[in-house]
Amino acid sequence: MNSRRKRKYSTGAAVCSIILVFLSFGAGRLHAQEIIIPLVTENNALVLEAGKAKELSIIYFGKKLANAQEYQLVPSAYRQTSDYSGLLNAAYTPSGSRNLMEPAITVTHADGHQSLDLRYVRHEQQQLDHDVTLLNITLKDPVYDFEVVLHYKAYVKQDVIEQWSVIRHGEKGNVTLHKYASANLYLKAGGFWLQQYHGDWAKEMRPEESKITHGIKTLDSKLGTRANIFQPSVFMISLNAPASEDEGTVLYGALSYSGNFRTDIELDYQDNLRIISGINNYASPYTLKPREAFTTPSFLYILSQKGKGYASRQLHDWARNYRILNGKGERLTLLNNWEATYFDFNENKLKALLRDTKKLGVDLFLLDDGWFANKYPRNNDNAGLGDWQENKTKLPNGIASLVKEAAANGVKFGIWVEPEMVNPKSELYEKHPDWVVKEPAREEHYFRNQLVLDLANPAVQDFVFRTMDDLFTRNPGLAYIKWDCNAVIYNAYSAHLGNHQNHFYIEYMRGLYRVLERIRAKYPDVPMMLCSGGGGRVDYEALKYFTEFWPSDNTDPLERIFMQWEYSYFYPAVATANHVTDWGKQPVKFRTDVAMMGKLGFDIVVAHLAEKDLAYCRNAIREYHSFKHIVWQGDQYRLADPRKDEIASIAYISKDRSEGVIFNYLTSNRYGAGSSRPIRLKGLDPAAMYQLEEISLYPGTTSPTDADRPYSGEFLMTVGFNPEVSGSRTSVVLRLQKK
Ligand code: GLA
């Protein structure tokens, strides 16, 4: 073939250019046009190509090249076996035409045919602000009036890409979507390693890493509400070799969705990796009407060539700047009464706790479960959910008097709710059995003695919104909400949806987000914690509405070191609520130090604290207020891994590298365990001089660390420092200050 190549480059945004390649096939033959679309961020490029036949494929995802014209040469550098379908590297794999692998989308057309083909039609790019671009690519079926628009929002500085799809058709009747992924990625490397997570109540975020073998590995949830309890949607994939904290290429992925999710990770016969992520299509074939737009949730991903640490710092920056509600703002320290009283409290007891809140020195008192319901009082977890009126026996003067009392003590007041749920023993259930998710003809099946309300029903959405609105209207001083969600969905059936049950799981989530939108439209700033019987629900869609999340009911500090370590790959400390409780065997100092690596709270009986313990806590809280901005807004470095070492060490360094806090813990109880070697710091200015001072000291103890000794940043990063962690110093917090 006599081919001559001319190239044309768009003058669009610097971060996203288009390369047009004109191919001429000799006299008298049509010019075919190849379009190359590199989506470029600070460090990477995701390069798409609409080939001769206009299939849209991914030809490169890796470190960005200085010369954008060279992206088109990438495919020619591979000598892998034949692609019999031409779709192995599709940017959004259709099914039923030539495809032979796992599809991103599967449909039944209005005429009953199941074949879909998608070809590039056009694309456009917009610069949304200095650091954010949006690339939209329209794909159409040449035979059917059916289109998919792929949206790629690139957060350039953070290397984060947020991708979602909008599916529409103009066919003569309804189309059924059997699968409708958010994104479809394609990676080439000499081997892939998956780090995934699993868990259960009090065992959240347990990591497993394995080499990916041929075939499909699916990460998914079918739980409906607290979708993450057994498996969250976050994962990492290392390319070529398992990435370490500072080395290696690693992709982080997270579906921004709080309901059922599904991520298929397929190592194909050419040894390349296909990743397809979206809403779980389990029990959810979606009936799409003509001209209705089906918008998928977004799939977030970030590629790092500098190991896991860099990826997480970039993701934290993205989350704080663009996603978490008030991600750059303040958070409130608090005293919670859950483990202090459980359901057993009254106004007087709570008033004493309000005084304790003040005594301790935290910002807010959080009243947990048990304050509501009268006909079926909420005195344990088998009654009252849904009846959101103050319990008259426990709180004869209502919440209002507690809010007032809190103000008189100079502290704020927050409250626990679980508005998506209902106990069968409740007035709500009696009045509105049709608002409950259940199969009418089947025996009810409970999770923590409760059922889920049908948020697919607009009347239920109104009820949940009104529950919250009433609380705020009646108690304008209410300063904090803990929003819980303790049950999964069994017997999924919505009386409201009638014979459209296939939409139930999706409509539930739409209903939930609608309610949260309404709450946020009216109450944009009030901090809310996302809780789900521990850490059963956290994702970047929910965090648009919540300022923080509860990682687990397991607050044993030793367990928490491991758990917070894993969460911290994906979520920044500012959103991670950690409470000091009576779980675990460690002293109060150890428990407080661990809880300070995030948003600090307490859930203890202050009156039971020994004098010295109380003095310690009060001082630690004062110190926390002086460095919390570094933990919340600084860069996090994981220095010593408790899974590999006898200690854990985690540092938070301010963006200007002038100050930091370093947390060090003994995580082994073997004989002589401790910090035998120095720990190398990261993220400092090598030329600057720093001092290290031990803080969070227990009354009567002294520190072996000489706070006056200066160290160069170079020394601290090359040789390191020794926090002298040992059996007698099991947790050591150091404050770093530039001289
Ligand atoms: C869940 C939460 C706890 C507490 C209880 C109250 O289990 O995770 O923190 O709020 O509910 O019932």
Which of these three, 304, 323, 342, is where a domain ends? 323
Q: Give the closest residue to 52 by CA, choosing from 10, 24, 76.
A: 24
Q: What DSSP string describes 292-335?
A: --EEPPEEEEEEESBHHHHHHHHHHHHIIIIISTTTTS----EE
CA distances from 72 to 9, 35, 224, 735 (A): 12, 9, 43, 50
Q: Atom 11, ligand 1: which residue's CA is nearest?
A: 533
H-run or E-run covering 289: none
- Beta strands per DSSP E along 51-145: 56-63, 105-108, 119-129, 132-140
User: 670 and 626: one domain?
Assistant: no
For tokens 């002589």, what's the residue? Answer: 672
User: 440 and 518: one domain?
Assistant: yes
Is residue 418 within 6 Å of ligand 1 at its C-beta?
no
Cβ atoms within 10 Å of 375's Cβ, excluding its own: 12
Q: Is 140 part of a structural domain of the chain?
A: yes
User: 559 and 413: one domain?
Assistant: no
List the structure tokens of 340: 């202090």
C-alpha 62/C-alpha 51 separation (Å) is 20
CA of 202 to the centre of ligand 1 (A): 11
- Helix 347-360 with 398-408: angle, nearest 10 deg: 30
CA distances from 561 to 555, 584, 638, 666, 723 (A): 10, 12, 11, 10, 17
Q: Is 15 part of a structural domain of the chain?
A: no
Residue type (1 letter), 217: K
C-alpha 302/C-alpha 300 separation (Å) is 7
Q: Is 75 part of a structural domain of the chain?
A: no
CA distances from 110 to 175, 176, 729 (A): 5, 8, 70
User: 605 and 716: one domain?
Assistant: no
For tokens 């002038």, what's the residue? Answer: 658
- Beta strands per DSSP E along 29-110: 32-40, 44-50, 56-63, 105-108
CA of 19 to the centre of ligand 1 (A): 54
Cα radius of gyration rounded to whole Å, the chain: 27
For residue 380, what pLDDT is reported? 98
For residue 12, what pLDDT is reported? 35
Q: Which atom of ligand 1 is nearest to the CA of 368?
A: 10
CA of 378 to the centre of ligand 1 (A): 13
C-alpha 88/C-alpha 80 separation (Å) is 12
Q: Is 56 part of a structural domain of the chain?
A: no
Which of these three, 632, 648, 675, is where a domain ends? 632
Is residue 116 within 6 Å of ligand 1 at its C-beta?
no
Q: Is 65 part of a structural domain of the chain?
A: no
Q: Atom 7, ligand 1: which residue's CA is nearest?
A: 533
Q: Which atom of ligand 1 is nearest to the CA of 534?
A: 8
CATH of the domain at 119: 2.70.98.60
Is residue 529 within 6 Å of ligand 1 at its C-beta?
no
User: 482 and 542: one domain?
Assistant: no
Q: Which atom of ligand 1 is nearest to the CA of 532?
A: 8
For residue 19, what pLDDT is reported? 55
For residue 33, what pLDDT is reported? 79
User: 622 and 682: one domain?
Assistant: no
Three-class SS of 140-197: ECCCCCEEEEEEEEEECCCCEEEEEEEEEECCCCCEEEEEEEEEEEEECCCCEEEEEE
CB-based contact 543:324 (threshold 8 Å): yes
For residue 32, what pLDDT is reported? 55
Is residue 414 within 6 Å of ligand 1 at its C-beta?
no
Q: Is 173 part of a structural domain of the chain?
A: yes
User: 275 and 292: one domain?
Assistant: yes
Is residue 552 within 6 Å of ligand 1 at its C-beta?
no
CATH of the domain at 710: 2.60.40.1180
Q: Which domain holds residue 419?
A: 332-526
Greatest Cα pair distance, the chain, in angstroms, is: 94
C-alpha 57/C-alpha 229 separation (Å) is 35
C-alpha 392/C-alpha 412 separation (Å) is 22
User: 409 and 289: one domain?
Assistant: no
Which of 486, 529, 538, 555 has the most ligand 1 atoms within 8 A of CB, as the residue to mutate? 486
User: 202 and 351: one domain?
Assistant: no
Is residue 338 within 6 Å of ligand 1 at its C-beta?
yes
CA of 524 to the centre of ligand 1 (A): 24
Is residue 422 within 6 Å of ligand 1 at its C-beta?
no
Q: Which atom of ligand 1 is nearest to the CA of 553?
A: 8
Is residue 182 within 6 Å of ligand 1 at its C-beta?
no
Those residues of the chain that have pLDDT short of 50 are 1-17, 20-31
User: 484 and 544: one domain?
Assistant: no
CB-based contact 666:725 (threshold 8 Å): yes
Q: Atom 1, ligand 1: which residue's CA is nearest?
A: 533
Is residue 158 within 6 Å of ligand 1 at its C-beta?
no
Which of these three, 477, 494, 526, is where a domain ends? 526
Q: Atom 3, ligand 1: which residue's CA is nearest?
A: 533
Angle at the Cα of 154 (from 150 to 155), degrees rounded to 5?
155
Q: Give the closest residue to 503 by CA, choosing from 297, 177, 285.
A: 285
Number of domains observed in the structure of the chain: 4
Could you tell me the pTM of the whole model? 0.96
Q: Is 16 part of a structural domain of the chain?
A: no
CA of 532 to the centre of ligand 1 (A): 7
User: 484 and 357: one domain?
Assistant: yes
Q: Is 369 part of a structural domain of the chain?
A: yes
Q: Atom 6, ligand 1: which residue's CA is nearest?
A: 369
User: 257 and 180: one domain?
Assistant: yes
CA of 243 to the centre of ligand 1 (A): 36
Q: Atom 2, ligand 1: which residue's CA is nearest?
A: 533
Is residue 603 within 6 Å of ligand 1 at its C-beta?
no
